[in-house]
Chains A and B, each alone.
Chain A
Amino acid sequence: MNKIYRYIIAAVLVLFLGYKSIYFKKLSEVKQLDKSGFDYDAYADTLYNKGILSEDMGVGLDELMFMIQTKPDSAFSIYGNRLGIGNSAYFMVKGNGRISAVQDGSLKILTEKGESVTLDSKYIFGNDLRDASRLVKLTDFKTNAEFNKVSEALNTLVREKVIAPTVQRLREGDKISFMGALKLNRKHLSDIEFMIIPAQITLQ
């Protein structure tokens, strides 16, 4: 009889410990918790409107190109931003020009100094805008995944709410001013492709 009691007590104990050692949560609740932890959209909105659009943001494209040709190391250290190790750096540039062509969502621009540049308004992805702004530090976020979510939120804002509606209104021959991210590789400075990820395009 004693044995039966012992087994019952042991079974109750095992069930109690088992019950206390695990718990279940709805996946939707966990996902919601992750989303609510940090508001990347609000962060990107502030970063864009109060940081990237501030008056002192960006170097003139002509000034940068002159410096790249004459003092490339200074150009990279003063205006460029490279997180970690690599040959490339991102620059926030601004300029004026006339639209010479609209091709597959991209704008071909002829600048006032006769330079031909492309505003890649279709492929606004990656870390170009975030890093060119020099406003977000790697150490501001705990993991690279979180750090990259800033880029995704910023790109979505710029691509869908800023650039897409603007580009729809633009036509060949329009005079515009622009600001955006330019990626330059130290190893290939002789054949620079002026492909700029736009942050803002304004019809003049």
Chain B
Amino acid sequence: MMCMKKIASLLCLIVSFCFSCQNKTGTEKPKVAVVISTLNNPWFVVLAESAVKDAEALGYEAKIFDSQNNPATESDNFENLISSGFDAILFNPTDADGSVVNILKAKEAGIPVFCMDREVNADDAATSQILSDNYAGCVSIGISFVRALKEKGNYVEIIGLVGDNNTWARSGGFHSVVDKFPGLKMVAQQSGDFDRNKAMEVLETLMQAHPDIDAVFCGNDAMAMGAYQALQAAGKADKVKVFGFDGASDVIEKIREKKIVATGMQYPKVMAKTAAQYAHEYFGGRRIFPQRVPVEVELVNAANVKDYE
């Protein structure tokens, strides 16, 4: 008899545990995790905070997880949020290949993942990927670059993180134009990890070997600001033309002052809002989403900077 009682209480315990792991009750808000590659870059802070704001405006609890540009930290973040019962993930990946396994873990746990800004190398892992059209944006910058240099000169390219698809989409778009003009010679291409200080150091070092450069193309605006700082310190800011990508406010200001030539305006708030809206629709029962949604990038230069106050 005692044995039967023990078995019954054990069964009750198991059943109540199972129910506690089930979906939220009617009064509980679904939880949305915003997993961001790094919060060291102001651009990603805007992306993260916008995603949280949009998710909260739609009635959800939202929390930011910082992956610190480290796939291992990102993996820990996914483990934590899956075990903590989050219901959707708005995700900015650290690595095009390395992040796929994390998305698949969430998928296996029944959690939808909406990628923002950075594409992963799989078209069947994320629920949807909302991405800047980096390639087209950098084609426009490439044309602007060729015109500004009158098809002739030596230049340096400072690329972003080597494992990030955006790095190569931007570089690819730029080179699809610039490489067709034989008078333009790339004397060095080096990674600045999308980081302002690193880009500054990289350009300082490169200028020792190549003091005669005419332009620098940077894979993001943080690096463009770092490059501009290095040129300023070397007294070359007036001679060397700088190009960035992002549409960061400090670079827009520099374009207005004619100190930086051009950038590509990205729309992190649009990407965050679309991802939050998709999560909302997923909770409402929608299951079919476009795998990739490109978001237009607009060229900003001295001619149209007045439109980007």
The answer on a CB contact under 8 Å between A125 and B172 is no
A190 on the B face (CB < 8 A): no
Residue of B nearest to A188 (CB): B307
Whether A126 contacts B123 by the Cβ 8 Å rule is: no
The A-contacting residues of B in range 165-204, CB under 8 angstroms, are 165, 168-169, 172-173, 176-177, 180
Whether A126 pairs with B139 at a CB distance below 8 angstroms is yes
Residue of B nearest to A120 (CB): B143
- Given contacts A125-B143, A143-B121, whether A85 and B274 have CB atoms under 8 Å apart is yes
Pick the contact of B123: A88, A123, A142, A155 (CB < 8 A): A142
Distance in Å: Cβ of B100 to nearest Cβ of chain A:
12
The reply to whether B292 and A126 contact each other, CB–CB distance below 8 Å, is no
Q: Is the CB of A84 within 8 A of B142?
A: no
Q: Is B295's CB under 8 angstroms from A86's CB? A: yes
B296 CB contact (under 8 Å) in A85, A144, A145, A152: A85
Question: Is the Cβ of B296 less than 8 Å from the Cβ of A126?
Answer: no
Task: Flag if A143 contacts B119 (CB, 8 Å).
Answer: yes
> Least Cβ distance of A56 to chain B in Å?
26
Interface residues in B269-309 by Cβ distance below 8 A to A read 270, 274, 290-296, 298, 307
Determine whether the beta carbon of A125 is less than 8 Å from that of B294: no
For residue B146, give the distance in angstroms from its CB to the closest CB of chain A.
8
| Assembly CA distance A155 to B172 (angstroms) | 14
Per-residue B-contact encoding for A73-85, CB less than 8 Å = 1, 0 else:
0000000001111
List A contacts of B274 (CB < 8 A): 85
- For chain A, the bracket of interface size reads 20 to 34
- Encode contact with A along B129-149: 1 for CB under 8 Å, 0 otherwise: 011010110011011001000
Docked-complex contact B296 and A84, CB < 8 angstroms: yes
Q: Among the interface residues B119, B172, B180, B291, which one has the most CB atoms of the partner chain A within 10 A? A: B180
Please tell me if A70 contacts chain B, counting CB pairs below 8 Å.
Answer: no
Q: Chain A's nearest CB lies how many Å from the CB of B245?
A: 15
Closest to B129 in A: A144
List the B side residues contacting A86 at CB < 8 Å.
133, 294-296
Closest to A82 in B: B296
Asked if B176 and A139 make an inter-chain contact with CB atoms under 8 angstroms apart, the answer reads: no
Query: A145 vs B292: C-alpha distance in the bound complex, in angstroms?
Result: 12
A68 to B140, CA, bound (A): 24
Bound complex: CA A82 to CA B294 (Å): 9
Contact A85 B270 (CB under 8 A): yes
Known: A85-B130, A88-B296. 8 other contacts (CB 8 A): A84-B292, A85-B267, A123-B143, A125-B143, A142-B123, A144-B131, A144-B135, A144-B292
Instruction: Sample 26 A-B pairs with CB under 8 A, ordered by A number.
Output: A83-B294, A84-B292, A84-B293, A84-B294, A84-B296, A85-B270, A85-B293, A86-B133, A86-B295, A87-B296, A123-B143, A125-B142, A125-B177, A126-B173, A127-B133, A138-B292, A138-B294, A144-B119, A144-B131, A144-B165, A145-B135, A145-B165, A148-B135, A148-B172, A148-B173, A152-B176
**Chain B interfacial positions (CB closer than 8 Å to A):** 119, 121, 123, 130-131, 133, 135-136, 139-140, 142-143, 146, 165, 168-169, 172-173, 176-177, 180, 267, 270, 274, 290-296, 298, 307
